[in-house]
Amino acid sequence: MRGRKVPSFYTNMLKDKVYNLLQDCLKERTDLFLIEFNIQDNNAIKVIIDGDNGVLVEDCIYVSRAIEHNLDRDKEDFSLEVASAGAASPLAQRRQYKKNLGRTLKVKTLDNQKFEGIITKVLEEAIVLSWKAREPKPVGKGKITVEKEAEIALEDIKEAKVKIKF
């Protein structure tokens, strides 16, 4: 059956079952949260998780076992991949912004504005970035360094990524 298309009603039943298993698993491990979950037509299950303190291999194994040990391979032919959100992956949930407080983000808004700054606050429906910029002096020649800040609504963010420093 692997590799062949599975009837959609079957995939939907499997999807509901796996989603419920995921929810039960994440209730037990409140430090972990779901970023992405899907099942393809060939029953390839893909789960991407993140955690308030990062994600270890053991966390992925924990989630994988919570799903795999509750499905009957004789009834449900499937493949399962559980992974963590990568360091270069865009942020998808408010909770990810909170865990990255104090880090530098690159943000692109829906109207194609670009910001790069340190995330200083995570509000209910927005984030606050701050950065330093060089601007012309109000009087005379030359430039001065000024502190800038922008509050960006979460719904206006097209993409936000943590800038990785080496």
Q: What is the DSSP letter of 52?
A: B
- CATH architecture of the domain with residue range 94-162: Roll (2.30)
Classify 137 as helix, strand or coil: coil
Considering the entire predicted model, what is its pTM? 0.78
Strand 104-109 with 114-122, pairing = antiparallel
Q: Give 160's contacts (C-beta < 8 A, 6+ positions apart).
A: 90, 91, 97, 105, 106, 107, 108, 127
Strands across the sheet with 79-84, in order? 32-39, 44-51, 79-84
Q: Which of 23, 154, 30, 32 is nearest to 85 (CA)?
A: 32
Per-residue pLDDT of the chain (166 residues; tens, 9 = 90+): 444 454 455 557 888 999 999 999 999 999 999 999 999 888 899 999 999 988 999 999 999 999 999 998 888 788 999 999 888 889 989 999 999 999 999 999 999 999 999 999 999 999 999 999 999 988 888 899 999 999 999 999 999 999 988 7
| Whole-number Å distance between alpha carbons of 129 and 146 | 14
Q: Which residues of the chain does CATH 3.30.300 include? A: 8-84
Domain 8-84 classification at class level: alpha beta
C-beta atoms surrounding 24 within 10 Å: 12
| Whole-number Å distance between alpha carbons of 41 and 161 | 30
| Whole-number Å distance between alpha carbons of 43 and 127 | 37
Q: Which residues of the chain does CATH 2.30.30 include? A: 94-162
